[in-house]
């Protein structure tokens, strides 16, 4: 049933669709047989009725709530004896979602991650500095498996001990760095404090993801490390990192391994598919997973299909960088905003250090956004800088925000996923 990666990434759209329908039919049959939740949910669905990809859009969706309710093992599609690894995600609120892997699932993950590294041109001659957290979070082990798959050497740094990270980057001659973009930024800042320049390193590629980041942040990381900074996307519910990633040539959208993970983009309000090039919510199905297979999972992540072919020759469809999560979006006096847009506007101002935090508050029934920033140069005059940043932001965002210039190094640095938005409205109510 499965084709080898090289072929799989070069199928025509018609071949890919035919394969997806066949795989989905088998997936639905297996879900009904092995997972009680889906047996009930798909009671009226005959797998044979799936004749074309459009039919998949009529099947029911799975929500994060469904997965949480199933904690810990109600979604298991195999006997626990066949499970070889388990991860869990808590998100920022609520209870855990468990992601379990059989031997085949771990192979699938390795295969998907091998493609991520191959798209980035990473191979056996590379030394991979892996600063994603090892543990229940899938980032650390996901990247580790990728390195094993392509035969690269991996340095399993995990997050934290940032000065030591800089020393290891330099001394072990890493050519590839893997981290969240916000942590990579913190490593860059620490390098500067230690007087270590990019010239002292051998880095050429960064594989960054697990949180939304702007093109401006991408350019900043490319500049400070002198690398190509590439985006990688994924989520524990589906596999971990490895669902989609950028290739070196394209560098402006992420190839989805759509033969391994079936994807759709839907209108979050109506639940119906949107056209290519139109923004919506990404819906994913882990069609080949055995232990915790998930059908039509509403990720909450906002993106769009990029219809243009990629110069790299891979025919797998690409999605745009994730704009943010449906629940990260906030509305300020009628204007919808994502933290990533504010990051983009802030990083265009050279006077600012590339760190920020957004504090959302409510005063007299009106929402107020206070943007906390730090000056790049410690001696900068805070008042005039705040005025300037406020002007620029108001123009870029089309809505009035407050700006507070904080002391250098006072905004919390991230060692994993950054917390960009502090929402005090919930406390104020």
Distance CA 209, CA 416 (A): 10
251 Ramachandran zone, left/alpha/beta (phi>0; psi -120 to 50)? left
Rank residues 19 and 304 by Cβ distance to ligand DLL and give the closer one: 304
Q: Which of 236, 342, 371, 421: binder of ligand DLL (CB under 6 A)?
A: 236
Min CB(185)–ligand DLL separation in Å:
15
Cβ pair 257, 243 in contact under 8 A: yes
Min CB(262)–ligand DLL separation in Å:
16
Cβ pair 378, 408 in contact under 8 A: yes
17 binding ligand DLL? (CB under 6 A):
no
Rank residues 234 and 375 by Cβ distance to ligand DLL and give the closer one: 234
Count CA atoms closer than 13 A to 54's CA, side-chain side. Answer: 1
Min CB(137)–ligand DLL separation in Å:
6
Q: Which of 301, 343, 374, 415: binder of ligand DLL (CB under 6 A)?
A: 301
138 binding ligand DLL? (CB under 6 A):
yes
Q: Is 150 exposed, middle or buried (0-12, 13-18, 19+ CB in 10 A)?
A: buried
Query: Would you give the binding string for ligand DLL spanning residues 77-96, x where CB under 6 A is met?
Result: ------------x-------
232 binding ligand DLL? (CB under 6 A):
yes
| Other Cβ atoms within 10 Å of 60 Cβ, number | 14
Q: Which of 130, 299, 357, 414: binder of ligand DLL (CB under 6 A)?
A: 299
Min CB(89)–ligand DLL separation in Å:
4
Query: Would you give the binding string for ligand DLL spanning residues 261-280, x where CB under 6 A is met?
Result: --------------------
Q: Which of 114, 133, 159, 241: binder of ligand DLL (CB under 6 A)?
A: 241
338 binding ligand DLL? (CB under 6 A):
no
Could you tell me where the beta strands, DSSP code E, fall in 103-202? 127-130, 153-155, 176-179
Helix (H) or strand (E) holding 406: none
Binding segment toward ligand DLL, per CB under 6 A, in 158-166, 192-200, 229-237, 418-426:
229-237
Cβ partners under 8 Å of residue 49, min gap 6 = 55
Q: Which of 114, 240, 293, 416: binder of ligand DLL (CB under 6 A)?
A: 240
Regarding beta strands 352-363 and 366-375, do their DSSP bridges make them parallel or antiparallel, or are they unpaired?
A: antiparallel
Cβ pair 294, 281 in contact under 8 A: no
SS3 342: helix
147 binding ligand DLL? (CB under 6 A):
no
Q: Which of 234, 253, 354, 416: binder of ligand DLL (CB under 6 A)?
A: 234
116 binding ligand DLL? (CB under 6 A):
no
Distance CA 262, CA 264 (A): 7
Q: Is 291 exposed, middle or buried (0-12, 13-18, 19+ CB in 10 A)?
A: buried
Q: Which of 129, 144, 317, 325: binder of ligand DLL (CB under 6 A)?
A: 325
Cβ pair 392, 345 in contact under 8 A: yes
- By CB under 6 A, name the binding residues for ligand DLL: 89, 132, 137-139, 142, 209-212, 231-236, 240-241, 299, 301, 322, 325
């Amino acid at each position: 049933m499965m084709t080898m990666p090289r072929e799989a990434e070069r199928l025509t759209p018609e071949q890919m669709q035919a394969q997806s329908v066949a795989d989905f039919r088998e997936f639905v049959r297996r879900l009904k047989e092995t997972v009680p939740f889906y047996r009930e949910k798909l009671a009226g669905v005959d797998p044979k009725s799936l004749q074309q990809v459009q039919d998949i859009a009529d099947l029911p969706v799975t929500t994060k709530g469904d997965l949480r309710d199933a904690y810990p093992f109600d979604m298991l599609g195999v006997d626990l004896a066949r499970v070889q690894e388990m991860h869990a995600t808590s998100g920022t609120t609520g209870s855990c979602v468990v992601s379990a892997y059989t031997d085949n699932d771990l192979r699938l993950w390795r295969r998907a991650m091998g493609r991520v590294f191959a798209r980035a041109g990473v191979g056996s001659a590379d030394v991979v500095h892996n600063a994603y957290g090892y543990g229940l979070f899938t980032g650390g082990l996901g990247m580790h498996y990728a390195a094993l798959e392509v035969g690269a050497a991996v340095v399993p740094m995990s997050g934290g001990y940032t000065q030591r990270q800089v020393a290891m980057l330099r001394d072990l001659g890493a050519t590839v760095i893997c981290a969240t973009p916000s942590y990579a930024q913190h490593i860059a800042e620490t390098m500067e404090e230690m007087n270590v320049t990019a010239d002292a390193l051998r880095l050429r590629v960064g594989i960054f993801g697990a949180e939304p980041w702007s093109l401006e942040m991408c350019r900043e990381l490319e500049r400070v490390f002198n690398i190509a900074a590439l985006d990688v996307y994924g989520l524990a519910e589906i596999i971990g990192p490895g669902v989609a990633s950028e290739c070196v040539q394209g560098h402006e959208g992420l190839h989805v391994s759509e033969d391994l993970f079936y994807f759709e983009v839907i209108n979050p309000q109506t639940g119906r598919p949107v056209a290519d090039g139109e923004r919506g919510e990404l819906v994913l199905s882990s069609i080949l997973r055995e232990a915790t297979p998930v059908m039509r999972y509403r990720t909450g992540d906002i993106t769009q299909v990029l219809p243009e072919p990629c110069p790299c020759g891979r025919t797998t469809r690409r999605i745009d960088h994730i704009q943010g999560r449906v629940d990260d979006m906030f509305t300020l006096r009628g204007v919808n905003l994502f933290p990533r847009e504010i990051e983009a506007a802030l990083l265009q101002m050279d006077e600012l250090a590339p760190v920020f935090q957004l504090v959302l508050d409510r005063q007299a029934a009106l929402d107020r956004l206070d943007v906390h920033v730090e000056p790049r140069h410690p001696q900068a005059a805070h008042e005039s800088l705040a005025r300037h940043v406020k002007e620029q932001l108001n123009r870029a965002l089309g809505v009035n925000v407050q700006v507070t210039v904080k002391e250098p190094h006072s905004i919390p640095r991230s060692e994993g996923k950054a917390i960009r938005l502090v929402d005090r409205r919930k406390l104020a109510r």
